[in-house]
């Protein structure tokens, strides 16, 4: 902890942190996004049973599924809850150290965007780890709000806007008007569940065992929410479940569409339930404005069409959806008045 305090003591720039379940982004005021790495920590258990950090971020993500028994790759925020407070803190510390680059800076103000589903205890823990680290003040902003600001929506106007952020661990849906979240919902169905559904499907249909990372790559390479006019194909390697031998199988975009149809349906249902709860005047605005998609899940082929067909409203992916929340958190940092309206102190 003392180390963290010192670290912040050397900084003067205010920071915005998007503490995502899959990716953490850090934006330095006046500089833009300086860190964009997976929220993964690799730890090694030493002989006396203590955990030592081996790697954080991209390097640690590359270790997932490839670690020997003594090494663990941890995603401390995986399901939108803090599974491991210590690791979360170590991860924040690591990313801040990376920015510092040895320069002398004064204690910063920090805005941190957290998944909407975090409990009060978890929010407090995030806040305290930043305060302990020497931040002058810490504001938390909720993900749907940051996503909406980052997507360029006019959140302060008396006009309803609906944003759906599909991340790694959670999908967060929010209706925003007059600078506040009117209705919101967080479900633990997002990119990770799609990956898991692909693993299951390929096991059942092709008797092939693949890992989560391979599944994620399939999702990105050939995944689709809707039928494509020209199906995509790729060859995937894995272990044959029956024979036990290593083999390769051709997988099509139709396979992936079928595989992910159930979790996508759950996302559509959550969106419908938010729309059902939206007061009529705001619902009218949303009919006019359409629905904006952010988060990595906004990049799934045809997800806009898929959701649009499900709710019969226009659905528009944000530009650079993976950066929307970080940009929105950075915008909150720029504008103190907005900050006070959209953040809360526990």
117 is a contact residue toward Mg ion (CB under 5 A): no
Residue 174 lies near ligand ADP (rule: CB under 6 A)? no
Cβ atoms of 108 and 13 within 8 Å: the answer is: yes
Residues 174, 155: contact at Cβ < 8 Å?
no
Kindly state the number of chain residues that form the binding site for ligand ADP, as judged by CB under 6 A.
19
Determine which residue in the list 38, 167, 238, 328 makes contact with Mg ion, applying CB under 5 A. 167
Applying CB under 6 A, the span of 2-10, 14-22, 58-66, 312-320 interacting with ligand ADP comes to 14-22
Phi, psi (deg, nearest 5) at residue 299: -90, -5
Beta bridge partners of 162: 175, 291
Of the residues 57, 117, 144, 169, which one makes contact with ligand ADP according to CB under 6 A: 169
**Two tokens, residue 287:** 């009919």
Query: How far apart (Å, rounded) are the C-alpha atoms in residues 309 and 315?
Result: 9
Residue 170 beta carbon to ligand ADP: minimum distance, rounded to whole angstroms = 6
Of the candidate spans 44-52, 54-62, 127-135, 164-172, the one that interacts with ligand ADP by CB under 6 A turns out to be 164-172
Choose the contact partner of 41 out of ligand ADP, Mg ion, none; CB within 5 to 8 A by kind.
Answer: none
Choice between 108 and 223, CB closer to ligand ADP: 223
DSSP secondary-structure letter at 25?
E
Q: What mask of x and - would describe binding to ligand ADP in positions 271 to 300, judged by CB under 6 A?
A: ------------------------xxx-xx
Burial 302-315 (b: 16+ CB within 10 A, else e): bbbebbbebbebeb
Is residue 164 helix, strand or coil? strand
Instruction: Select 20 or 144, whichever has its Cβ closest to Mg ion.
Output: 20
Does 118 bind Mg ion (CB under 5 A)? Our answer is: no
**Angle between the 212-222 and 191-206 helix axes, to the nearest 10 degrees?**
100
Tokens of 26: 């850090």
Binding site for Mg ion (CB under 5 A): 20, 167, 325
Binding site for ligand ADP (CB under 6 A): 20-23, 167-169, 191-192, 216, 219-220, 223, 295-297, 299-300, 322
């Amino acid at each position: 902890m003392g180390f963290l305090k010192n670290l912040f003591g050397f900084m003067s720039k205010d920071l915005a942190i998007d503490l995502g379940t899959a990716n953490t982004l850090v934006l330095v005021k006046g500089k833009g996004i300086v860190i964009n790495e997976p929220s993964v920590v690799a730890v090694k258990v030493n002989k006396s049973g203590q955990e030592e950090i081996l790697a954080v971020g991209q390097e640690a993500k590359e270790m997932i599924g490839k670690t020997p028994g003594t090494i663990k790759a941890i995603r401390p925020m995986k399901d939108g809850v803090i599974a491991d407070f210590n690791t979360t803190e170590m991860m924040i510390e690591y990313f801040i150290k990376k920015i510092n680059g040895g320069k002398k800076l004064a204690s910063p103000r920090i805005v941190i965007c957290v998944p909407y589903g975090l409990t009060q205890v978890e929010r407090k823990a995030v806040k305290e780890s930043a305060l302990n680290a020497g931040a002058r003040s810490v504001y938390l902003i909720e993900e749907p709000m940051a996503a909406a600001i980052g997507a360029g929506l006019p959140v302060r106007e008396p006009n309803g806007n609906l944003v759906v952020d599909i991340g790694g661990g959670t999908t967060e849906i929010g209706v925003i008007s007059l600078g506040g979240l009117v209705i919101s919902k967080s479900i633990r169905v997002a990119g990770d569940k799609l990956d898991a559904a692909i693993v299951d499907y390929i096991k059942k249909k092709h008797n092939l065992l693949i890992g989560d990372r391979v599944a994620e790559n399939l999702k990105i390479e050939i995944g689709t929410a809707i039928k494509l006019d020209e199906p995509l194909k790729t060859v995937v390697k894995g272990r044959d479940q029956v024979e036990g031998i290593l083999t390769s199988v051709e997988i099509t975009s139709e396979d992936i569409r079928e595989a992910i149809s159930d979790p996508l349906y759950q996302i559509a249902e959550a969106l419908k339930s938010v729309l059902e709860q939206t007061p009529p005047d705001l619902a009218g605005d949303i009919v006019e404005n359409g629905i904006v998609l952010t988060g990595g899940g906004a990049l799934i082929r045809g997800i806009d069409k898929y959701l649009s067909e499900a709710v019969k409203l226009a659905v528009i992916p944000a530009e650079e959806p993976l950066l929307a929340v970080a940009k929105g958190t950075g915008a909150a940092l720029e504008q103190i008045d907005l900050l006070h309206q959209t953040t809360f102190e526990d």
